[in-house]
Chain A
C-alpha cells in the first residue's frame, strides 16, 4: 500500500498538535493579549503554530496523495487547521475512511494501490 499507514500516523500526530496549538492560541493566547494585556502566550504560540501548520499541510497532502482523496476531502483537511475543534473531528473521519479503504483494498487484492490498474491500460 506504499506507506499509507505511515502517512496516516504522521497526519494524525500533526492534526493533534495543530488542533491543540490552535486551541491554546484562540482560547488562551488571544484573550490574554487583548483582555489582560499579556501578549507573551500569543507571541510564542502564534509563530510556532504557523510553522507546525506548514508541517501539518505537508503530512495532509502526503496522505491525500497516497490514499487518493477527493478535492473536497483535501479541502476539509486543509480547512481543519483554521477552525477550533474541527481538526479533531476531521482527523477522526479521515482515520476511519483510510482504515476502511485499507481493509477494502486488502480484501480485493489492492486494486487502488499505486501501480495497479483494474482497467488494464
Chain B
C-alpha cells in the first residue's frame, strides 16, 4: 500500500494530476466566461475542458493501481535485472541451442531468430536506452 501511493512513480502521478486538473478547470472556466460574452464556440469548449480534467483523474487512479512491480521505469529496470539473473543461471531463454533446428530454417527465419535472441539479451527497453 505504501509502495502504491508513495513510490517515486506515484509522486510523479500525483504531481501530474495536481497540475493537470486545475489547469483544465481554469481553461474551462475561461471558456465559460467567453461563452457568456457571446462566443458560441466556447459553449462546446467549456464542455470539453472538464472532460479533460475528469480524464486526468481517471488516468491517475488507473496508473496508481497498475501493478507497481512491473509498471514504469522502475518496473522495467526490475524486469531487466530479473532477466539478467535468469540468464546468469545458465538457462537458455532465447530460441537458440537445442530448441533451434538449423536444418529446418530458411534464411529469413534464421534472421528472425537471431533478432529475437538479441532482443532477449538486451531485456525490456525504454526510449532512454535505445
Residue positions of A touching B, CB distance < 8 A: 42-43, 46-47, 50-51, 54, 57-58, 61, 64-65, 68-76, 93, 97, 100-101, 103-104, 106-109, 111-112, 114, 117-119
Contacts and interface: CB of A to CB of B under 8 A. Distances in A.
Contact of B16 (A46, A64, A75): A75
Interface in B71-130: 71-73, 75-76, 78-79, 82-83, 86, 93-95, 115-117, 119-120, 122-127, 130
A47 B72 CA distance: 33
B35 to A, nearest CB: 12
Interface in B1-20: 9, 12-13, 16
Interface string B15-44: 010000000000000000000000011001
Q: Is the interface of B mostly helix, strand, loop or mixed?
A: helix
Q: Is the interface of A mostly helix, strand, loop or mixed?
A: helix
Contacts of B44: 46-47, 50
Q: Which 10 A-B pairs have the closest CB atoms?
A: A107-B116, A118-B82, A47-B44, A50-B48, A70-B73, A104-B119, A107-B120, A71-B12, A61-B59, A70-B72
A76 B16 CA distance: 13
Contacts of A112: 70, 76, 79, 124
Q: What range describes how many residues of B lie at the interface?
A: 35 or more
B119 A117 contact: no
Contacts of B127: 72-73, 76, 93, 97
A107 B36 CA distance: 59
B16 A97 contact: no
Nearest to B59: A61
12 contacts: A64-B63, A68-B76, A71-B72, A72-B127, A100-B125, A107-B95, A107-B116, A107-B120, A111-B82, A119-B69, A119-B78, A119-B82
A69 B75 CA distance: 10
B41 A46 contact: yes
